Amino acid sequence: MWIGLAVVAALQFYYVQEMIAAFVVLAVVFAVIAGAGLLVLLVDRASERTLSWIETSVLAVLHTARRGASVASEFTAKRAAARGAQVSLFNRTRLRHPRLGTAR
């Protein structure tokens, strides 16, 4: 009972009231900063997982595209060889005929 009475008496002093107000203000500021830090951490973790997933997907698509380009170039080369001509795969211009030395 004496401790409770001492607390009530201490709360009547202006200095104690100012210290309690400062404590409340600093607690709110700390909570806001901690919340912002937690939000940044969560966004970082989510973006890391998302970028990892996107990287895996893009690599699979690129691998498939390379295989498709390889198959297409082999098909074009075989077709050109069957016709007896050399064809550039990149700019689609006809090269010189291997036997005649002229463009076809």
Q: What is the pLDDT of residues 19-37, one digit of tens each?
A: 888 999 999 999 999 999 9
pTM value?
0.44
The pLDDT value given to residue 67: 82
Q: What type of residue is 9? A: A
Tokens of 84: 């007896």
DSSP symbol at 92? -
Q: How confident is the model at residue 49 (pLDDT cuts 50, 70, 90)?
A: confident
**φ and ψ of 61, to 5 deg:** -65, -45
Q: What is the mean pLDDT of the chain?
A: 77
Tokens of 102: 């002229």
The pLDDT value given to residue 48: 82
